[in-house]
Structure 1
Amino acid sequence: MYRAYNFSAGPSVLPDEVLEEIKNELFDFNNTGMSVMEISHRSKQCIALFNETEELLKKSLNIPQGYSVLFMQGGARQQFTTVPLNLLTENKKADFIHTGSWTKYAIKEAKKLGQANLLFNGEECKFKSIPDLKKIKVSDDADYIYICTNNTIEGTTIKPGNLPQANIPLIADMSSNILGEEYDMSKFSLIFAGAQKNLGIAGVAVVIIKNELIEKSPDNIPETLNYKTMKDSESMLNTPPVFSVYVLNKMLKWAERMGGIKQIEKINKQKAAMLYDYIDNSKLYNNDIEPSCRSIMNVIFSLPSEEENKAFDKYATEKGFMFLKGHRSVGGMRASIYNAASLKQVEALVELMKEYELNR
């Protein structure tokens, strides 16, 4: 069976074996004689699926005691609103590390409910670098500090060793590098992630939140956006995205078979190093991101002109290398090499880039 090389930033590539498992179980989930898409979310089978997925997630990410896992809808983007609705409630002020498009949208939503204070504004360096955040002075009177650990559009990342030091809750959008590199989860009060990068398919947003923070959720916000209500209802206030959670379950088991987060991170760094090394030594391709904050999930690069970018994208697409075109807001090219993108896939891309450079 033909399988293209998928470099989409999301929804993204899934492991072949996970797709095979889903195909084989599609008509009969756990010997029920029904598809997982047909079973009631109140059934014991579905409740068991959600409970198992929660435990797998905690184990995979080394989440300490005192945290809850919520399976919410609306994607990560809805969390841009949900976070301030629940947490921007005391001093009505939040600190932000502004590193790209996704923090821009989060800042926009926070400003509707309070003050958004920029401790770092990446627009000043065109989002090409991220400073030493350990030296950033955090506001004592902010309700929380907010970061995005990986910027899919700009191709940058906040490394696990470069987190802000704060006595206030640290909130992180980890949509595009969750389970791709290991962070000390105890340093965060809340993380959230849309599943369609490393965790499966679109439809569910994972929220991992300290229990003490849940108690801050006010009663006068919509129930489906209320962390406390969602926890009390075990993520089943309304019909949840059962199939998306099912795929998440499969992805977590696959990650475990791959050796867990430490082994996955090792492979991801190997893939990224291979691609960056070729780009840095090429006379045709360019990456102008400060090396210390380059993403290992989303490798951006460009050719000398937009015409050449288009020509390369056409060449790659014709050979089965899909979705390499950069985001419309920045142009250029982008190779998203999430967990399910194999070493072989990245090796093939490097060979394609060499071939194009040699024959152009």
Structure 2
Amino acid sequence: MSNRAYNFNAGPAALPLEVLEQAQQQFVDFNGAGMSIMEMSHRSKPYEQVNDQAQALMRKLYGIPDDYEVMFLQGGASTQFAMLPMNLLVPDRPAAYVLTGSWAQKAVKEAQLLGETVLAGSSEADKFNRIPKGAEINVPANAAYLHVTSNETIEGTQYMDYPEVPADVPLIADMSSDIMSRPVDISKFGVIYAGAQKNLGPSGVTIVIMRRDLLERCPKQVPTMLRYDTHAKNGSLYNTPPSFSVYMVQLVLQWIEARGGVEAIARINRDKTKLIYDAIDGSGGFYRGFASPESRSQMNITFRMQDEALEKQFIAESEAQGFVGLKGHRSVGGLRASTYNAVPHESCSALAAFMLDFQRRHG
């Protein structure tokens, strides 16, 4: 399709064209059932097969050990900000958080409503332009868990290495914007969660990967729908799931597998993102990257120009040439290119070329 936009939206974000075309083919009649998957009972065998296959593919592609549950929930990562402390905070053990940007701040704010929290580290003094180094992160030995935001979508920073934690302190990561963009040692984490709408599918479903022993912490006084053990025991089918979103996640996982798996995706992501960072670094200061080089995200490239008028001109001209989503988040301004798994190399190459041409004409 020649009229596809260069989609750099931060989320909901680009989906693979092949996945969209496959969904289009199956939209009205799913596998000869005479109905769309959106019309099916979630108790039917065809849908249960989709649900099970999506979970199995996630396990295979991400190397998820057998002692972890894979759950498909609703409410987005924002619901997880509250659901985590509701289930995993225990008396006399504070929840520890590393403050790295806008999304980490929101996670902390929710946890503070539910129990004692402490900051184990922060880069706020540097305007969140970097991820704190390991030596700067101090986790209380009695912490209920340590929570990190793997990739800050708004500021454009990402953990290169995850913090070490005491033996009985689970590491919890919000991976909403970089899940399955690179290999991860799942066994280092107690919980990984992510909204699907950046790297794994459309909005509507949230993936939670949880070590099974943590399910024993879920207090019985927490409402049924907000308890992890409810969903784990019922295979994510306790109530009506976001069935079409789960189906789309399954197709995206099949697409990742066909491209060579997560390691191959990581190589592709590095190569395409480098094109844009090189345009920034080679501009002689015309473009200025926001994130410190050692913390630069492979998913969200944030940068500024000499003044807001020029940034507005950049947005206007880029939109006229088919680029979408390059305006920075309203809370910080500037410019941002989100280069998630499904953003093609060709889109990043086209953006780098546009940036060079814009600099030539306006520099």
- In the superposition, the TM-score normalised over structure 2's length comes to 0.97
Contact 2:146–2:165 (Cα < 8 Å) also in 1: no
Residue 349 (str. 1) matches residue 351 (str. 2): yes
How far does residue 333 in structure 1 lie from its aligned partner after superposition? 0.3
The alignment partner of 1:37 has SS state of helix
1:216 and 1:29 map into 2 onto residues whose CA distance is 40
Q: Which moved more, 1:240-249 or 1:276-285?
A: 276-285
1:288 counterpart residue number: 290
Deviation at 1:137, TM superposition (A): 2.7
Aligned to 2:246: 245
Deviations 1:244-280 (A, max 9, x none): 0000000000000011000100111111222111101
Equivalent in the alignment of 1:271: 272
Instruction: Give the letter for the 1:89 counterpart.
Output: V
Q: Match for 2:327 among 325, 333, 338?
A: 325
Tell me how far apart the structure 2 counterparts of residues 25 and 327 of structure 1 sit (CA, whole Å).
35
1:136-215 superposed matches below 5 A: 136-159=137-160, 161-167=161-167, 168-215=169-216
Match of 1:90 in 2: 91
Cα offset, 1:33, TM superposition: 1.1
Q: Is the 8 A contact 1:134 1:162 kept in 2?
A: no
1:31-110 equivalent positions in 2, closer than 5 A? 31-110=32-111
Measured in 2, the distance between the counterparts of 1:162 and 1:197 equals: 21
Instruction: Find runs of 4+ consecutive structure 1 residues off by over 4 angstroms.
Output: none
Between the aligned partners of 1:164 and 1:7, the Cα distance in structure 2 is: 33
Give CA deviations for 1:109-136 in whole Å, capped at 9, x if unaligned.
1101111111112211110112322663
Q: 1:133 to 1:259 in 2, by over 3 A?
A: same
What SS does the corresponding residue of 2:96 show, helix, strand or coil? strand
The DSSP-based 3-state class of the residue aligned with 1:215 is: helix
Distance in 2 (alpha carbons) for counterparts of 1:152 and 1:278: 20
Q: Which amino acid aligns with 2:112?
A: K
Alignment-derived partner of residue 256 in structure 2 = 255
SS at match of 2:289: coil
RMSD over aligned CA atoms reads 1.1
Residue 30 (structure 1) shift:
1.9
Would you say how many aligned residue pairs link Structure 1 and Structure 2? 359
1:230 corresponds in structure 2 to 231
**For residue 209 of structure 1, what is the amino acid of its counterpart?**
M
Residue segments in structure 2 that go unaligned for 5+ positions in a row: none
Kindly provide the amino acid, as one letter, of the partner of residue 331 in structure 1: G
Question: 1: distance between equivalents of 2:288 and 2:172?
Answer: 33
The question of whether the paired residues in 2 share the 8 Å contact of 1:93 and 1:115 is answered with yes
Cα distance per residue 1:28-65 (max 9 Å; x no partner): 11221110100000111111111111000111111112
Structure 1 counterpart of 2:347, which letter?
A: Q
- Unpaired runs of 5+ residues, structure 1, are none
**Equivalent position of 1:339 in the other structure:** 341
Contact 2:77 2:176 (C-alpha < 8 Å) held by counterparts: yes
Shift of 1:230: 1.1
The residue type equivalent to 1:300 in the other structure is T
CA distance 1:162–1:227, shift in 2 (3 Å): closer
Q: 2: CA distance between counterparts of 1:133 and 1:86?
A: 27
CA-CA distance at 1:166 after TM superposition: 2.8
* Alpha-carbon distance in structure 1 between the residues aligned to 2:328 and 2:185: 31
How high is the sequence identity, in percent, across the aligned residues? 44
Deviates more, 1:113-122 or 1:37-46: 113-122
Q: Which amino acid aligns with 1:202?
A: S
